[in-house]
Amino acid sequence: MTTASKDRFESPDFYALDGLLSEEHLLIRQSIRDFVKKEISPNIEEWSQKAHFPYEIVKKFGDVGAFGPTIPQEYGGGGLDYISYGLIMQEIERGDSGMRSTASVQGSLVMYPIYKFGNEAQRKKYLPKLASGEWLGCFGLTEPDHGSNPSGMTTNFKDAGDHYILNGAKMWISNAPKSDVAVVWAKSEEGRIHGLIVERGMEGFTTPETHGKWSLRASTTGELVFDNVKVPKENLLEGKSGLGAPMMCLDSARFGIAWGAIGAAMDCYDSAKNYSQERIQFGKPIGSFQLIQKKLAEMLTEITKSQLLNYRLGQLFNEGKASTAQISLAKRNAVEVALNIAREARQIHGGMGITGEYPMMRHMANLESVVTYEGTHDIHLLILGKEITGIPAFE
């Protein structure tokens, strides 16, 4: 490993937010930071260059408690609060957005709905195996023709006596090609949206992989295809139906993204700060030039504002008071901040910034997916616009 590519990350904390964190929060963050420095940082550039998903990381995520940290301990989760969850996502995405996607889908989009909407038998069957990393899960909502408008989905299931018959397809599904379990959203014969747990091996269920991605290259992405799949009736998530059910899952995932994207921003800022002090031009470090200092000062300002925003949102989540619009604001802000910082940091590194010795181009490419998934950048604007005016612009 070259000197430049060693993980020397130090977290910026300009407003001493660590003083607001509990001892437990600090321990959790440090354990995940150490995990990322050991398991992800030394390998991530090679994984990304080769578009390789390191399946062995799934069990390691389970061992370190990255899957379902807010799920109660009796089901294998961590029983932690949402600030802990945010810190975990921040540290993992500091390593790589694709790695964070793997963890965030497992916890927020697979374990959360099974815990929240499932019955006790479903919780006991699935959650411990998902928490430990023995099983990998995915979340099937987006379809080839229905992304920002999930209510238009055509995937459907029909009652066939002691089971359901599921037909349709989902697209852009993180974890799909390697998943053992899929939480799939489909319409009943009455047109009502329900969640179904579909397991690997059910006849007619396939998960073709998506190739040729320029983004999230170390994450595995694919489709979910259902061709007359027989799903046992006990696999229906009975606790909640309607579009509000998957939207609740997305709220939890978007919260994790808000923290995660700032982790990526921190990584780019830290690399740029170090490089500016070491790169000599015109006989002195480039960090001595006004324009470089301006870039670094603006990066630190935006990271600090986002840290405060995320912390407050974590408090609201813990109190059960966080609204969808508040979550949209944080997700949208964090990804925009991270993208801008990645681009500015790349410029500070000059030509070296496009190489795999430094993380900016990889973060930048990854964030182009993050700015689109879990609600696009513009859709989050319209969610806020509806909150402000009371008028939905997307209907």
Ramachandran assignment for 344, one of left (phi > 0), alpha (psi -120 to 50 degrees), beta (any other): alpha
Respond yes or no: is residue 56 known to be catalytic.
Answer: no
Q: What is the number of alpha carbons within 13 Å of residue 330 lying toward its C-beta?
A: 29
Ramachandran assignment for 225, one of left (phi > 0), alpha (psi -120 to 50 degrees), beta (any other): beta
* Rounded Cα gap, residues 316 and 330, in angstroms: 12
User: 348, 368 in Cβ contact below 8 A?
Assistant: no
- Choose, from 344, 357, 374, 387, the residue flagged as catalytic: 374
SS3 163: strand
Q: Which residues are the active-site residues?
A: 374
